[in-house]
Amino acid sequence: MTRPPRWRLHSVRAASPGTIELPAIDDAQTGGGGEWSVTVFNNEYNTYDEVINILMAATSCSFEEACIETWEIDHLGRSVVHYASEQECEHVAGVIRTIGIQVSVGREP
């Protein structure tokens, strides 16, 4: 997914019972640090196909990921669709806005 960065486990060896190994973040795939995010909000006029297509164009995500994010937008009212640098997030938001969707760019806590 484009939301959190691509995850990669440190090891395939099983941890001790009750212990979960945290995945490593691959910053090279996030556009630089990932401290900013793009949130897309639901509206009543864009179709699923329009939203899916613009998410794939703006974020270079897969069809499956765009479908999941579009479902979240429709059913939850919003979805964080991209994590990256401020500059990249502003670019992604600008592309998404071209079809009239409300988008916000913000710093991650």
- What are 8-29's pLDDT values in tens digits? 333 334 444 555 454 444 444 4
Within-domain flag for 100 = yes
DSSP class of residue 63 equals H
Within-domain flag for 32 = no
Domain with residue 84: its CATH number is: 3.30.1390
For 81, residues 6+ apart whose C-beta sits below 8 A from its C-beta are 2, 3, 38, 39, 40, 55, 58, 59, 61, 69, 92, 96
Domain count for the chain = 1
Within-domain flag for 58 = yes
Residue 73: give the domain boundaries: 42-109
Q: Is 59 helix (H, G, I), strand (E, B) or coil?
A: helix
Within-domain flag for 59 = yes
**25-64 confidence digits (pLDDT tens):** 444 444 445 699 999 999 999 999 999 999 999 999 999 9
Within-domain flag for 11 = no
Within-domain flag for 2 = no
CB 108 within 8 A of CB 61: no
Distance CA 64, CA 31 (A): 21
Flag whether the pTM goes above 0.75. no
Identify the burial level of 57 via C-beta atoms within 10 angstroms of its C-beta, where 0-12 means exposed, 13-18 middle and 19 or more buried.
middle
Does 103 score more than 80 pLDDT? yes
Read off φ and ψ for residue 96, nearest 5 degrees.
-65, -40
Within-domain flag for 98 = yes
DSSP class of residue 84 equals E
At residue 99, the pLDDT reads 97
- In the chain, DSSP finds a helix count (H) and a strand count (E) of 3, 5
Within-domain flag for 37 = no
